[in-house]
């Protein structure tokens, strides 16, 4: 009797167990995420800049695309606000890349972090309006 070609893949997938996001996220990445989230809330352009890659882009909820320079200019004009609580946060690690998804206010946020030169920095963000 021969097994279907996909059988080894099915067995491998069945053996994979979900690991809680907090258990797999490196401490230095978690600290960088909190620092950057705080920088956005505080309109702290210096910290935001340090934790954001030069090639950064963001697609905002209205569909507009902004570069790092455009977003930092916008951040400098913002009024500080309280740090919002993230809901339904999920972080998936892919070696030195992390993808984080969370609900903040009325929007879903997806950010991509990359570790280069020993530092974690955000390379891209996508914001989508959440259905009510």
Q: What dotted CATH number matches 21-129? A: 3.10.450.50
pLDDT confidence of residue 84: 79
pLDDT confidence of residue 82: 84
pLDDT, tens digit (0-9, with 9 covering 90-100), for 76-103: 999 998 877 888 999 999 999 999 999 9
Contact, 131 vs 106, CB < 8 A?
Answer: no
Q: Name the phi and psi angles at 42, rounded to 5.
A: -85, -5
Contact, 89 vs 101, CB < 8 A?
Answer: yes
Give the chain's mean pLDDT: 85
Contact, 107 vs 62, CB < 8 A?
Answer: no
pLDDT, tens digit (0-9, with 9 covering 90-100), for 18-70: 344 445 899 999 999 999 999 999 999 999 999 999 999 999 999 999 999 99
pLDDT at 13 over 80: no
Contacts of 97 (CB under 8 A, 6+ apart): 112, 113, 114, 115
Give me the residue spans of the domains in the chain: 21-129
Contacts of 75 (CB under 8 A, 6+ apart): 40, 43, 45, 48
């Amino acid at each position: 009797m021969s097994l279907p070609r996909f059988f080894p893949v099915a067995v491998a997938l069945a053996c994979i167990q979900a690991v809680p996001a907090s258990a797999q996220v490196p401490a230095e990445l978690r600290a960088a995420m909190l620092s950057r989230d705080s920088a956005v809330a505080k309109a702290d352009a210096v910290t935001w800049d340090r934790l954001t890659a030069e090639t950064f882009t963001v697609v905002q909820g209205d569909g507009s695309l902004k570069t790092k320079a455009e977003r930092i200019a916008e951040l400098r004009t913002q009024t500080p606000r309280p740090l919002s609580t993230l809901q339904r946060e999920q972080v998936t690690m892919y070696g030195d890349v992390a993808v984080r998804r969370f609900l903040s206010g009325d929007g879903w946020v997806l950010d991509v972090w990359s570790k280069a030169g020993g530092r974690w920095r955000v390379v891209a963000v996508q914001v989508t309006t959440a259905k009510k």
